[in-house]
Structure formats: C-alpha cells, structure tokens
A and B are shown apart, each in its own frame.
Chain A
Amino acid sequence: MMISDIESDLKSKFPDSLLNVVSEDRRISLLVKKEELHQILSQLKDIGFNHFSDVTAVDYIADKEFELIYHLWSHREKIRAIVKVRIPREAPTVKSVFDLWTGAQIHEREDHELFGINFEGNPNLSPLFLEDWEEIPPFRKDFDTRKYVKEKYYSGEEGYPVAKG
C-alpha cells in the first residue's frame, strides 16, 4: 500500500473529518476533527498500522486548545502516520485507544498526569510519577515552574536561593 492509497482511502471514508493531509516520502501527517478521531485511528489500524509509538500533547494556551499527536508505525509498509487532533482546553476529554492498542495505556496515563487530559475508557489513569501532587498538571503552560520551585524547595532572597533545611 502506497501513501497515496492511504490518503485516498481515508478521504473517501472520512470526507468531513480530515482537515489537512501532508504526505511525504514515508510519512503521512493528518489533522483530524475530534468527533471521528477514534474511527480514523481504528481505520488506520485496520490498514496495517499495528504499532502504536506514542501519544503526546502540546498546550496551545493562546488558542485555548490542546493538540494531541498520535504516532503510528506500520511494520509491513514501513510508513509512519502522525494523527493530530485539537481538543478544547477547558474540557480535555477524548476516547481512549486502549481498545485498539493496549500499549497506549501507559502513554495516555502519562498525558493524563502531565497535561490533565482525560482518556475515556483507559482502565488506569492513576498518577505515575507525581505522588502527592496538588497543583495543576505541571506541563500546562500556565504552571509557573520557577515560582513553584522557589516556594517549595528554596527560601531566601530573590536570585540567591538557599535550600531549606
């Protein structure tokens, strides 16, 4: 299967949901609508993208949106598919792809922890690294790392931190 076949296949099945498609040598990048995300990923799995590499997120705070980026790999065709989706920052909820690739579980759990994105259908979204975390998720742009660290770990004059204890 060629890149152009994948593109035409998706365009015929999801004419309304594909906002942008970029095809390169061995890589296809899609920007899709949130509503049919799960169906598109399911279709991609059916046409051979059997390896789930990663799902990561970008915080576009000015647009009030998160962008989720799914990386898929086809061992048979040796093609990478990148699926991007924008979700609202206020209610960041998408359907989990745990039912398609079980390996997605840990990636979604990490995104939930660091960005506060909710994956419906993921069996375990408990904290992975951050125990006893009470602030907003730390990878969000409105989390002020430097301020938090100064208050939490240092006391002293401005610009000259002294460790507590």
Chain B
Amino acid sequence: MTAAAYPTNGLNDTVHQRHRLGILTIAAEAKSADFGYLRDALDLTAGNLSRHLTVLEEAGLIQVWKGYEGKRPRTWVRITGDGRAALAAEIAALTELVRRHTPARAGPAGQDGAPS
C-alpha cells in the first residue's frame, strides 16, 4: 500500500478536528448559522467556539460577520466554497477509512448535500 493511496492523506488538519468538522457540517446545512446555535449544538463554550471559528476563518473555510438584531448583537457564520470542498474531501476520506478497516460499517451516511 502506498502512502499516497492511504485515505488519511485526504484528511485536512484544519477540518478533521471534531468540533471544526461539526461547525462545517452545520454551516453547510444552512445559508448561515448563528454563533449561539453552533455553541449549543456542539456543546462548546463561547471561548472554545471562537477559537475554532478563528482557525476556520483564517483557513478561508468560513466567513464570520457580526450584526445587530434590534439591540442584540449576533454573530453569523457562513461556509465558503473552499469550506464545502474541504468538508466533502474530509467525509470522503473518513468514509474510505471506514471502508478499509471496518467492512461491517462500510457505506455510512455522510454524503454532503443529500436531502433528508
């Protein structure tokens, strides 16, 4: 087996961190996702979530912007085209990893964009 063929080579260091993968997954499901929704859905503290968002934003995988709803400040997150591509590549790599090592679980759900 060559190193190039091994599925972990398709894993992106920025994306495959569990929480960042979760952020991208949620952001890919909506036009944009609210900071509060992400924090609750991923069970993170505001500080932790901010750090993960910074990493993803610096990598160009998401856009973050702040606004107001009335007097209440809100932060929104939108996945970029690069972010969608990175998420799809990550899921493909994970799926391939599963296919190689756990045949009984081959073919898990995880195709990006498939309707529910």
Query: Do A and B belong to a common assembly?
Result: no
Partner-A contacts on B (CB < 8 A) = none
